[in-house]
Amino acid sequence: MSAFARRHLGVLAVTCGLLATPALLPTAHADAPVTNRASLKQDLCYQVVTDRFADGNTSNDDPAKSPGMYDATKTNWKLYWGGDFAGIQQHLQYLKDLGVTAIWMSPHVDNIDKPAVYNGVPNAGYHGYWTRDFKRPEEHFGTLAEFDSLISAAHSMGIKVIMDWAPNHTSPADPANPSFAEGGALYDDGVLKGTAVNDTSGYFHHNGGISNYDDRYEVQYKNLADLADLDQQNGTVNSLLKTDANYWMSRGVDGIRMDAVKHMSSGWQRSFADNVLASKDAFLYGEWYLGSKTDPLYADNVRFANDSGISVLDFYLNIAMRETFGSGAPMSNLDAAIARTGTDYTYKENLVTFLDNHDMSRFLTLKNDTTALHDALAFMLTVRGTPCLYYGTEQYLHNDTSGGGDPWNRPQMPGFGETTTAFKEIQKLSALRQNQPALAWGTHQQRWINNDVYVYERRFNNDTVLVAINKSGAAYPIAGLNTALPAGSYTDQLGGLLGGQSITVGSGTGGNNPVTSFTLGGGQVAVWSYKGPEPSSPTIGSAAPTLTRAGNTITVEGRGFGTSGTLKVGGVTASVSSWGANRVTATVPSGTPAGIQQVTVTTSGGTSNGYALKVLSGAQVPVTFTVTNATPTNPGDNIYISGSIPELGSWSTDRNTAVGPLLTPNYPNWFGVASVPACTTFQYKFLKIAADGTATWENGANHTDTAPCSGTSATTVAWQY
Ligand code: NOJ
Ligand code: NOJ
């Protein structure tokens, strides 16, 4: 496309955005649909810190609403530097050329107007995580019309837009510290609701700051650093956070990256996810920060990802990739990470993989070696999960000041050239990803490994990708390698960009075809791919969203769906809205039983595998359950809830199905928030589960409760001895 055509496209979209009357509903704005926003498995995501990407409209650099928050010299890294919605829009063609199909934008909502002063240095919410008003766009980033314009321009190019939503907190607040001038103020569409320093309505928790980040009560109910911690169970807060999120979804947002999910109850978040998904199918993923691969809350993070309807950023694999490509750990470290996460996470292809982000040093700070970066990118772009690239990686952007962490990992985007090796590598592998079911939905198998070389295979039916990466400086002869690639010869999908050559595959048995020995040079990467003809019988690779209920839209993807057939959820036939060989969209039928239910596709060629979805009983509300005087006998015992509905574990005594572990800041009282169907009466009991998994129910009759029809509620009972 010519530079003129590119500009022309941008101008058209801007004009369209400006013409939209504010009073009109966003749906009145012509907006091209994107393909399957409920799943990112075939996408390449790109994380943008809006303020640092591109300044497309200088008139919003230093708005009158919030003076003193902009630094034109770009020397105070804690102030705004000028990037905005218009800047992203002007570089959509660049992103498209790179192969990006989804943009994760840093939080776009209104942040603090007055600086938070730390050690005499004024700090702005240029990163977006210090919300003031969840319903207004940040004035440094642009107007609502510019926001709409960006979304429709992105959609017209087939690019999804994911918003970063930070409902855990507002902004820095401390009654004893007037340097945090906003006092954690919360506004809704310009109306002040309250502040954390004078919280007359109970919008915030007041339990002090977190001191033990491994304690599940502290992380959820104390302040993350200085940030005013919202109480999502407060009726006003609950409703505001959900209504405002859906407002942005209705303006065209395709998905949500949820901030700090470790710091809010899983129950509230499940009700949040349900509320979003009932209004629009979308992909949701959360930031559950793991400090190490042995983080004590790792199991809680797995449970969250499996049950909440919100996937997670793959911190476990992030740590392993940085160890292996950045710090000399052997390839077996990566192989073990794939195996571990593959066992633990129900929806491993929904994990969002990343090498670095705005909260850690960039990869090139960790290891200033572009070959190592290319190797790591090749891995990330071909392994299970949805790859998310941090802006500027393709330009080798890094600033190593003080170890290159926050804020040095958020430099100005240096330029938009399209010629680096990383750019070309990403472009080629993104194109392959969009086309190759094995990369989106396939299994992972290690085929050849030593400390420096990892050869692995991704496979979906006959579709096969074989990847070989050598992270060392030395060449290795690769002998005795087998593959499921059919006999024949294969050229490197990277076209030799990273030194890869062609291979010859002979005939073997049982999916083990011998590869003629070859040499994999130091630092080299090769990717070989086979995509078979459309099969005559159906196989499902993906169904999304994974948390659903009757009336919601689901998208089922795979191969061999033919031109027509039947789609069932939990054995009940769904009404289909579109049918293609690789994608079917349908409505979850009323009468679908709640609980874990299989989706199947049946055609004249046969019936597919089942793909498990979590089907809810109805619209969800978050309820706080408290039991007093529950005194477990042994250390390591925890209290859980189980009850008559799938949301409460259907009387299961398995700790991965019952709701819990509950929290006990005031031992021996325990509480937890569970997401339950609105307006519904159910029974439940508390139970104790010991460290070895032995469960003991409380005595007496079942407790009965009826969930409110909207909002939140709380119920307290005494443990029955
Ligand atoms: C995690 C975000 O990624 C980080 O940048 C932010 O400061 C905290 N959450 C608090 O919102
Ligand atoms: C399941 C039963 O259905 C329920 O009534 C009972 O309270 C629990 N098990 C505990 O025994």
**Ligand 1 centroid distance, CA of 382 (Å):** 28
User: Is 418 contained in some domain?
Assistant: yes
259 in catalytic set: yes
pLDDT exceeds cutoff 70 at 20: no
* Residue 344: CATH number of its domain: 3.20.20.80
118 C-beta closer than 6 A to ligand 2: no
Atom of ligand 1 nearest to the CA of 227: 10
651 C-beta closer than 6 A to ligand 2: yes
| C-alpha span between 206 and 218 (Å, rounded) | 12
At residue 177 the predicted structure's pLDDT band, cuts being 50, 70 and 90, is: confident
pLDDT exceeds cutoff 50 at 11: no
| Nearest alpha carbon, ligand 2 atom 3 | 651
**Ligand 1 centroid distance, CA of 127 (Å):** 8
* pLDDT of res. 173: 97
Atom of ligand 1 nearest to the CA of 169: 11
pLDDT exceeds cutoff 80 at 665: yes
Lowest-confidence region among 290-304, 313-327, 461-475, 632-646: 632-646
* Full-model pTM: 0.94
Please write the tens of the pLDDT for every residue from 330-362. 999 999 999 999 999 999 999 999 999 999 999
Write out the two tokens for 554: 């689901």
At residue 680 the predicted structure's pLDDT band, cuts being 50, 70 and 90, is: very high
End-to-end CA separation in angstroms for the chain: 74
* pLDDT of res. 276: 98
Q: Is 466 helix (H, G, I), strand (E, B) or coil?
A: strand
Residues 553 and 483 both lie in one domain: no
| Nearest alpha carbon, ligand 1 atom 4 | 359
* Residue 641: CATH number of its domain: 2.60.40.10
Average pLDDT, the chain: 95
Please write the tens of the pLDDT for every residue from 37-85. 999 999 999 999 999 999 999 999 999 999 999 999 999 999 999 999 9
**Contact call for residues 385 and 349 (beta carbons, < 8 A):** yes
Tell me the mean pLDDT in the region 535-562.
Answer: 98
pLDDT exceeds cutoff 70 at 86: yes
| C-alpha span between 162 and 285 (Å, rounded) | 10
| Nearest alpha carbon, ligand 2 atom 10 | 697
One-letter-per-residue 3-state SS of 511-542: CEEEECCEEECCCCEEEEEECCCCCCCCEEEE
Choosing from 435, 452, 469, the residue where a domain stops is 435
pLDDT exceeds cutoff 90 at 24: no
Atom of ligand 1 nearest to the CA of 129: 11
Tell me the mean pLDDT in the region 145-164.
Answer: 98
Tell me the mean pLDDT in the region 572-590.
Answer: 97
User: Is 589 contained in some domain?
Assistant: yes
323 in catalytic set: no
Radius of gyration of the chain (CA): 26
**Contact call for residues 549 and 278 (beta carbons, < 8 A):** yes
Tell me the mean pLDDT in the region 209-225.
Answer: 97
Taking each helix axis from N to C terminus, what angle separates 235-250 and 266-279, rounded to the nearest 10 degrees?
Answer: 40
pLDDT exceeds cutoff 50 at 171: yes
Please write the tens of the pLDDT for every residue from 188-216. 999 999 999 999 999 999 999 999 999 99
Choosing from 435, 465, 490, the residue where a domain stops is 435
| Nearest alpha carbon, ligand 1 atom 10 | 129
Atom of ligand 1 nearest to the CA of 130: 11
One-letter-per-residue 3-state SS of 251-287: CCCCEEEECCHHHCCHHHHHHHHHHHHHHCCCEEEEC
420 C-beta closer than 6 A to ligand 2: no
Please choose from 650, 652, 654, 685 the residue to mutate so as to test ligand 2's pocket, defined by most ligand atoms within 8 A of CB: 685
Please tell me the chain's helix, strand, coil percentages from 3-state DSSP, rounded to the nearest 5: 25, 30, 45
Ligand nearest to the CA of 165: 1
Residue in the block written with tokens 């776009």: 108
Q: For a pLDDT cut of 90, what percent of the chain falls above it? A: 94
Residues 271 and 411 both lie in one domain: yes
Residues 697 and 630 both lie in one domain: yes
At residue 29 the predicted structure's pLDDT band, cuts being 50, 70 and 90, is: very low
Q: Which of 139, 182, 287, 705 is catalytic?
A: 287
| C-alpha span between 720 and 688 (Å, rounded) | 12
Residues 501 and 553 both lie in one domain: no
Work out how many domains the chain is built from and give that number: 4
Ligand nearest to the CA of 287: 1
553 C-beta closer than 6 A to ligand 2: no
* pLDDT of res. 9: 36
User: Is 30 contained in some domain?
Assistant: no
At residue 25 the predicted structure's pLDDT band, cuts being 50, 70 and 90, is: very low
Which residues contact ligand 1 via a Cβ below 6 A? 127, 129, 166, 224, 259-260, 287, 358-359
Choosing from 593, 615, 637, the residue where a domain stops is 615
User: Is 15 contained in some domain?
Assistant: no
Using alpha carbons, list the distances in angstroms from residue 694 to 672, 688, 703: 21, 8, 22
**Ligand 1 centroid distance, CA of 225 (Å):** 10
Residues 145 and 283 both lie in one domain: yes
Residues 65 and 163 both lie in one domain: yes
Atom of ligand 2 nearest to the CA of 685: 7
Residues with Cβ within 8 Å of residue 496, at least 6 apart in sequence: none
**Ligand 2 centroid distance, CA of 651 (Å):** 7
Q: Which of 259, 295, 425, 557 is catalytic?
A: 259
Residues 514 and 639 both lie in one domain: no
**Contact call for residues 512 and 447 (beta carbons, < 8 A):** no
Tell me the mean pLDDT in the region 526-537.
Answer: 98
Atom of ligand 2 nearest to the CA of 701: 7
**Ligand 1 centroid distance, CA of 492 (Å):** 39
Helices (H), 190-330: 216-221, 235-250, 266-279, 298-307, 315-321
Please choose from 644, 652, 702 the residue to mutate so as to test ligand 2's pocket, defined by most ligand atoms within 8 A of CB: 702
| C-alpha span between 98 and 434 (Å, rounded) | 13
Residues 294 and 404 both lie in one domain: yes
Which residue would you say has higher pLDDT here, 506 or 4?
Answer: 506
| 150: enclosing H helix or E strand | helix 144-156
Write out the two tokens for 108: 């776009």
User: Is 213 contained in some domain?
Assistant: no
| Nearest alpha carbon, ligand 1 atom 6 | 129
Phi, psi of 395 (to 5 degrees): -105, 10
Atom of ligand 1 nearest to the CA of 260: 9
User: Is 19 contained in some domain?
Assistant: no
* pLDDT of res. 30: 57
pLDDT exceeds cutoff 90 at 18: no
Residues 325 and 426 both lie in one domain: yes
* pLDDT of res. 6: 36
Residues with Cβ within 8 Å of residue 375, at least 6 apart in sequence: 325, 469, 470, 471, 498, 523, 525
Residues 384 and 350 both lie in one domain: yes
**Contact call for residues 56 and 86 (beta carbons, < 8 A):** yes
**Ligand 2 centroid distance, CA of 650 (Å):** 10
Residues 578 and 604 both lie in one domain: yes
Domain residues for 608? 539-615
| C-alpha span between 545 and 267 (Å, rounded) | 18
Side chain identity at residue 340, one-letter code: R
Residues 297 and 402 both lie in one domain: yes
pLDDT exceeds cutoff 60 at 488: yes
User: Is 24 contained in some domain?
Assistant: no
* Residue 449: CATH number of its domain: 2.60.40.1180
| C-alpha span between 644 and 672 (Å, rounded) | 17
**Ligand 1 centroid distance, CA of 544 (Å):** 27
Sign of CA dihedral 180, 181, 187, 189: negative
User: Is 55 contained in some domain?
Assistant: yes
